[in-house]
Homo-oligomer: A and B are copies of this chain.
Amino acid sequence: MKAEELIALVKFDSRGLVPVVTQDVSDNAVLMVAWANAEAIENTFKTEHATYWSRSRNELWEKGLTSGHFQDVEEVLYDCDVDTLLYRVRQQGAACHTGERTCFYRSAFKRAGG
């Protein structure tokens, strides 16, 4: 599928954004969740680097361009409702800006005996 075909399918929200889950292909760890717009999807397909739309900086965010922590995209999937994307990546360095491997490094609940 071409980027344009995916963009035509995706149900973007009122801001023109779609949530993206980023998963490490090495062990399926969930690394982060961010947002993409049409431009971010295009750039992801073109560069094969995971690209998002930064809501705080209001700009295209090809992860790794400043940090070197690129995410080489192996696969892009979309969900049943076509309102969420899944980037499967090979992560270079840490995904999280804190230096942690994944943004999900803190637990709020753990089942007893689990």
Per the CB 8 Å criterion, the residue count for chain A at the interface is 44
- State which residues 13-32 of A face B: CB under 8 Å: 19, 21, 23, 27-30, 32
A68 to chain B, nearest CB (A): 19
Known contacts being A27-B28, A79-B103, is A21 close to B6, with CB within 8 Å?
A: no
- In the complex, what residue of chain B is closest to A44 when comparing beta carbons? B109
Known contacts being A21-B33, A28-B27, A86-B30, is A81 close to B103, with CB within 8 Å?
A: yes
Q: Which residues of A contact B (CB under 8 A)?
A: 1, 3, 5-6, 9, 19, 21, 23, 27-30, 32-33, 44-45, 48, 72-81, 84-86, 96-98, 100, 103-111, 114
Known contacts being A21-B33, A33-B84, is A109 close to B1, with CB within 8 Å?
A: yes
Number of copies: 2
Q: Please indicate the chain B residues that have their CB under 8 angstroms from the CB of A105 in the complex.
A: 77, 80
A5 to chain B, nearest CB (A): 8
